[in-house]
Chains A and B, each alone.
Chain A
Amino acid sequence: KNEVEQSPQNLTAQEGEFITINCSYSVGISALHWLQQHPGGGIVSLFMLSSGKKKHGRLIATINIQEKHSSLHITASHPRDSAVYICAVPDDKIIFGKGTRLHILP
C-alpha cells in the first residue's frame, strides 16, 4: 500500500512570499493529484500530473518520478490562498496525504 507524506503540516507566511509544499510517496504511481480544501470543507482539484511540471496561474506543480516526490509552489501568495492543500495518489483506491494547512497573512 502506498504511503503519502506531506510537509510541512502547517505553514504561515506573509502575503507575497513564495510557498512550497512537499509530498512524497512510497510506491511508484501513474499520476499524482494536488487538491485544495477550503475552510467550508469543499475540495477542488488543482493538478493531476504524471511527469514534469504543470502551471496554472500562480500555482506550479512538479513531480520527480524517480525520487517519488512532488512539490506544489505558490508564487506571490495572497490571503485567499489560505486553505488546506492535499496530495493524493491512486492505489487500489485513492490514498490521501494529511494535508498542509496554509495561512497567508495580509
Chain B
Amino acid sequence: SAVISQKPSRDICQRGTSLTIQCQVDSQVTMMFWYRQQPGQSLTLIATANQGSEATYESGFVIDKFPISRPNLTFSTLTVSNMSPEDSSIYLCSVEDKRGTGELFFGEGSRLTVL
C-alpha cells in the first residue's frame, strides 16, 4: 500500500499567479501521476512524472503551464502557472501498486479556486 500526503488541500488564488502543489509518498514509486478534475467532470491525466527524466504530458497539457518536478522516488510537485479562472479544479496526485495488487492510491486532492 501507499500513503500520499498532498498539500495544499485548498487555496484561493489571484489570476496571473502560480501555485505549486506537493505530493509526498511513504514509499518509493517509479511513476507518479497528476490529474485534474474540473467541476462535475471525471479525472483527466495531466502528466506522468518519472524520477530522473522529464515528465510525459498528455495531449492538451504543456510543460510551460504545468511544470513538474520529480527530484526523488517519493516526492513530486506540480505547478499551475499563470492561473486563470479556467484552472479552478481539484488537482490530485496518484500512484499505482504495479509490483503488487495494481491498486490505485491518491492524495487528498488540492482544490484550487482562481478569482
CB distance from B19 to the nearest CB of A (A): 15
Size of interface on A: residues with Cβ below 8 Å to B: 19
Q: Which of B54-68 contact A (CB under 8 A)?
A: 58
Q: Which 10 A-B pairs have the closest CB atoms?
A: A41-B109, A42-B108, A43-B106, A41-B90, A96-B42, A96-B43, A98-B42, A42-B109, A41-B111, A45-B104
Question: Are A31 and B105 in contact, CB atoms less than 8 angstroms apart?
Answer: no
CB distance from B20 to the nearest CB of A (A): 17
CB distance from B10 to the nearest CB of A (A): 8
Question: Are B42 and A43 in contact, CB atoms less than 8 angstroms apart?
Answer: no
Is B9's beta carbon under 8 Å from chain A? yes
Is B53's beta carbon under 8 Å from chain A? no
Stretch from A13-21, A55-63, A70-78, A86-94 contacting the other chain: A86-94
- Interface flags for B81-108 (1: CB within 8 Å of A; 0: not) read 0000000001010101000011111111
Binding site for A on B (CB under 8 A): 9, 33, 37, 40-43, 45, 58, 90, 92, 94, 96, 101-111
Binding site for B on A (CB under 8 A): 31, 33, 35, 40-45, 48, 86, 88, 90, 93-94, 96-99
**A86→B104 CA distance, assembly (Å):** 12
Question: Are A44 and B106 in contact, CB atoms less than 8 angstroms apart?
Answer: yes
Give chain B residues whose Cβ lies under 8 Å from the Cβ of A44: 106
Question: Are B107 and A98 in contact, CB atoms less than 8 angstroms apart?
Answer: no
Give chain B residues whose Cβ lies under 8 Å from the Cβ of A98: 40-42
Give chain A residues whose Cβ lies under 8 Å from the Cβ of B9: 40-41
Question: Are B102 and A48 in contact, CB atoms less than 8 angstroms apart?
Answer: yes
